[in-house]
Amino acid sequence: MIAAKLKRYISFSGLQGPAPKTVFVLALMPLLLVVVQVATNDLGPDPAEALMHITGEWVLRLLVLVLLARPASQWGWPLLFRHRRMLGLFVFFYATLHLLVFAQVYIGWSGVILVEELAERPYILVGAAAWVLLAPLAITSTNAMRRRLKQRWRQLHQLTYAVAALGFLHILWLARSDLGTPLLYGGLFAVLLAWRLRVYLRRRNRRESP
Amino acid sequence: MKPRIPNWPVIPSSEITPESLWLRRRDFMKAAAAGAIVGGLPSPAAGATTPLDFRQGSCDGCATDEAATPFDDVTNYNNFYEFGTDKDDPAKHAHALTTDPWSIEVTGHVNKPGKLNLEDVLTGFDLEERIYRFRCVEAWSMVVPWIGFPLADLLKRFEPTSDARYVAFKTAYRPREMRGTRSFTSVIDWPYREGLRLDEAMSPLTLMTVGLYGKTLPNQNGAPLRLIVPWKYGFKSIKSIVSIELVDRQPRTSWQTLAAQEYGFYSNVNPQVDHPRWSQRFERRLPSSLFNPNRIPTQMFNGYEEQVASLYKGMDLKKYY
């Protein structure tokens, strides 16, 4: 009886996965952790740099999950796909935090410094461009917008790949001597993009052939 | 009459472990365990810091009255890529470095080439405390009470010849002890190399450094012997030195080799010359906090213009960055 119950539970959870609430709380955990670290002064002597690293790295991690969602669901693991929208919104959320920390601790909300930084620091410009591309994706993530935009919605949201490319460029440009992190994310993004292109090309071939 | 016996054990002071050693007891245990595994016991002093005898430095520029960065920040926020590229990697992993025995080879254009053992360094030079600003090329800075002696005093003992125009330094390169040097994705060609022009090396401000905050250097800060050149970006202040060579041509430094357009040979702190990827006009003085980032303007030659500007008279500092 217990075995049957367990089996039912497993198959049920396999079908449904965790509730959106659970995913929401999980995705919020890095922020909660950082808040605790800030409150307990546990981020070291340069909390600004630590915060930039933490928020930036979560943007990249969640971005990998978002791009992985469709291939994973086709390989029989639909969990990520079911929560893709929320994960995508969290990408935007952490990217926005990243930007706010930058504005507060690196440029002190000075418009003059901002313009100079954007003009002189290519990696900042690239990061800012990635955020600008993310904003319309977040705004058009509602069901209503999706219906309204129809086919355009898909095309628009393929910008996610452009965001990933900019994100990679951003960290590659920042690296000083160890290319480990840029290569890790660059590699992951490249594989996911290659998979998407393969699907796209296959579909186009099918349409072209009689 | 009963003899008076104290009801507590009497411990001669010679048996009391000094606090500095007691605080590192876990390192002894780790070292002992490691020693048992590899079969040879490492020196019991590995990784421990001990108090130093020194006087207060009194030269022009030898001390700043700015608030010193706390010891914990100075020793837990480091760039020492031999042990990893994160700021907390050196504090986590540098204990693996064996600093005893240690010797420095002095070679090249000198009349008396030779080796200097660490013991001779610690006893053979007058140690003094210098409170210097320390400005990293990454635009953060600290104020650190170092202990050391002028590099000039060391160089003079080996009698540089008239052919000696530059000084080339090398850090120890021990892949087994330095996990960062084993990284496959690192693009640094080890060992780490730095260099100075001879007149820069002879400046009274250029410090051969053996300690900070009154004690010998912790490994993550470049134990047992490092350079401090306070008017240059931090990476010029090479750590854990094993070789000093007097040469007649400008030596190639590690960062120059990696990205010559970003890191020049001179690398003097200069708010007018930006790093190609970020501004050098400001610095974050550590510790900084989120609500008070402690962003202060960077000074020419890190505030040591009066003492060192004459070394660069007539030079275009935009060209020789």
Q: What is the pLDDT of residues A45-80, one digit of tens each?
A: 888 889 999 999 999 999 999 999 999 998 888 889
- As given in the structure block, the two tokens for residue B22 are 């007691």
Candidate from B69, B274, B290 with C-beta closest to A105: B290
Classify residue B219 by its DSSP letter. G
pLDDT reported for residue B39: 40
The reply to whether A73 falls in a domain is yes
pLDDT reported for residue B44: 39
Answer whether B207's CB lies under 8 Å from B151's CB: yes
Asked if B277 lies within 8 A of A121 by C-beta distance, the reply is: yes
CA nearest to B215, candidates B50, B104, B84: B50
Q: Which residues of B70-96 are buried (b: 16+ CB within 10 A; e: fewer)?
A: eeebbbbbbbbbbbbbbbebbbebbbb
Asked if B290 lies within 8 A of A47 by C-beta distance, the reply is: yes
- Mean pLDDT for A5-28 is 71
pLDDT in tens, A100-113: 999 988 887 888 88
pLDDT reported for residue A195: 93
The alpha-helical segments, DSSP class H, found in B3-150 are: 19-22, 25-38, 71-76, 89-93, 118-124
How many helices (H) and strands (E) chain B has is answered by: 9, 13
Structural domain boundaries, residue B148: 48-311
A46 touches chain B (CB under 8 A): yes
| 139-158 in chain B: CB under 8 A from chain A | 140
Cis peptide before B101 (omega within 30 of 0): yes
pLDDT reported for residue B198: 98
The reply to whether A207 falls in a domain is no
Answer whether B125's CB lies under 8 Å from B153's CB: yes
Distance, in Å, from the CA atom of B135 to the CA atom of B286, rounded to the nearest integer, reads 10
Our CA-based measurement puts residue B286 at a distance from the nearest CA of chain A, in whole angstroms, of 6
List the CATH number of the domain containing B152: 3.90.420.10
Distance, in Å, from the CA atom of A106 to the CA atom of A93, rounded to the nearest integer, reads 19
Q: Which residue of B has its CA nearest to A122?
A: B277
pLDDT reported for residue B35: 42
**Average pLDDT value for chain A:** 88
pLDDT in tens, A30-43: 999 999 998 888 88
Cis peptide before B191 (omega within 30 of 0): yes
Asked if B279 lies within 8 A of A176 by C-beta distance, the reply is: no
Give the per-residue SS3 of chain A.
CHHHHHHHHHHHHHHHCCCHHHHHHHHHHHHHHHHHHHHCCCCCCCHHHHHHHHHHHHHHHHHHHHHHHHHHHHCCCCHHHHCHHHHHHHHHHHHHHHHHHHHHHHCCCCHHHHHHHHHHCHHHHHHHHHHHHHHHHHHCCCHHHHHHHCHHHHHHHCHHHHHHHHHHHHHHHHCCCECHHHHHHHHHHHHHHHHHHHHHHHHHHHHHCC
- As given in the structure block, the two tokens for residue A5 are 């119950």
Structural domain boundaries, residue A75: 19-171+181-202
Q: How confident is the model at residue A96 (pLDDT cuts 50, 70, 90)?
A: very high
B189 touches chain A (CB under 8 A): no
Strand order in the sheet with B193-197: B114-117, B103-108, B241-247, B166-171, B193-197
The reply to whether B36 falls in a domain is no
Q: How confident is the model at residue A5 (pLDDT cuts 50, 70, 90)?
A: low
Distance, in Å, from the CA atom of B150 to the CA atom of B228, rounded to the nearest integer, reads 10
CA nearest to B191, candidates B238, B236, B245, B121: B238
Answer whether A83's CB lies under 8 Å from A23's CB: yes
Cis peptide before A18 (omega within 30 of 0): no
Per-residue pLDDT of chain B (321 residues; tens, 9 = 90+): 455 554 555 555 555 555 555 555 555 455 444 444 444 443 434 457 999 999 999 899 999 999 999 999 999 999 999 999 989 999 999 999 999 999 999 999 999 999 999 999 999 999 999 999 999 999 999 999 999 999 999 999 999 999 999 999 999 999 999 999 998 888 899 999 999 999 999 999 999 999 999 999 999 999 999 999 999 999 999 999 999 999 999 999 999 999 888 899 999 999 999 888 788 988 999 998 877 778 899 999 999 999 999 999 999 999 999
CA nearest to B142, candidates B151, B132, B128, B156: B132
pLDDT reported for residue B36: 43
- As given in the structure block, the two tokens for residue B98 are 């064996």
Candidate from A44, A104, A122 with C-beta closest to B77: A44
Of residues A191 and A1, the one with the higher pLDDT is A191
The reply to whether A82 falls in a domain is yes
Residue B312, Cβ neighbours under 10 Å: how many?
Answer: 18
The reply to whether A9 falls in a domain is no
pLDDT reported for residue B8: 52
Asked if A104 lies within 8 A of B186 by C-beta distance, the reply is: no
Domain count, chain B: 1
What backbone phi and psi angles, to 5 degrees, belong to B61?
90, 0
Asked if B140 lies within 8 A of A51 by C-beta distance, the reply is: no
Residues of chain A found within 8 Å of residue B274, distances taken between Cβ atoms: 120
Distance, in Å, from the CA atom of B238 to the CA atom of B245, rounded to the nearest integer, reads 14
pLDDT reported for residue B21: 53
The reply to whether A176 falls in a domain is no
What backbone phi and psi angles, to 5 degrees, belong to B278?
-155, 165
- Mean pLDDT for A119-125 is 85
Q: What percent of chain A has pLDDT over 70?
A: 91
Strand-pairing partners, residue B273, are none
CA nearest to A183, candidates A197, A169, A200: A169
CA nearest to A94, candidates A42, A46, A49, A57: A57
Domain count, chain A: 1
The reply to whether A12 falls in a domain is no
Asked if A45 lies within 8 A of B69 by C-beta distance, the reply is: yes
pLDDT at A187 over 90: yes
Alpha-carbon dihedral A144, A149, A155, A158, rounded to 10 degrees: -20
Distance, in Å, from the CA atom of B77 to the CA atom of A46, rounded to the nearest integer, reads 8
